Amino acid sequence: MPCPNGDHGRVRVFYTGDPETRIGTAIVWCPDCRQGIYVSRVGIPPGAETLPFDATQEEGDAAVPPAVVLLPPDRAPEQPLRRPTPVVQGA
């Protein structure tokens, strides 16, 4: 999935969830823009990088760097995943 902010790269998806039910949450983030979106209640594809819900802060930071700014949790599930994002000054 390419980054919605431009053609500089692709976003990464990281999952947190239950390995049994394969239902959890996802963080979709761009390593170049350092912006991410938190998505709740997603199905986790087999083989995807996944952390358990009781993972430590260090494990979470290793997966998604603390410098990545996450937009607020999705409160409108009917909205499409891709949404307008702020223009980065000087980009």
Where on the chain is the footprint of Zn ion (CB under 5 A)? 3, 5, 30, 32-33
Residue closer to Zn ion (CB basis): 22 or 71: 71
Q: Which is nearer to Zn ion, 52 or 86 (CB)?
A: 86
- The CB-of-23 to Zn ion minimum distance in angstroms stands at 27
Q: Which is nearer to Zn ion, 33 or 51 (CB)?
A: 33
* Backbone phi and psi for residue 57, each to the nearest 5 degrees, phi listed first: -60, -40
Give me the least distance between CB of 15 and Zn ion, in Å please. Answer: 20
Q: How far is the CB of 32 from Zn ion (least distance, A)?
A: 4
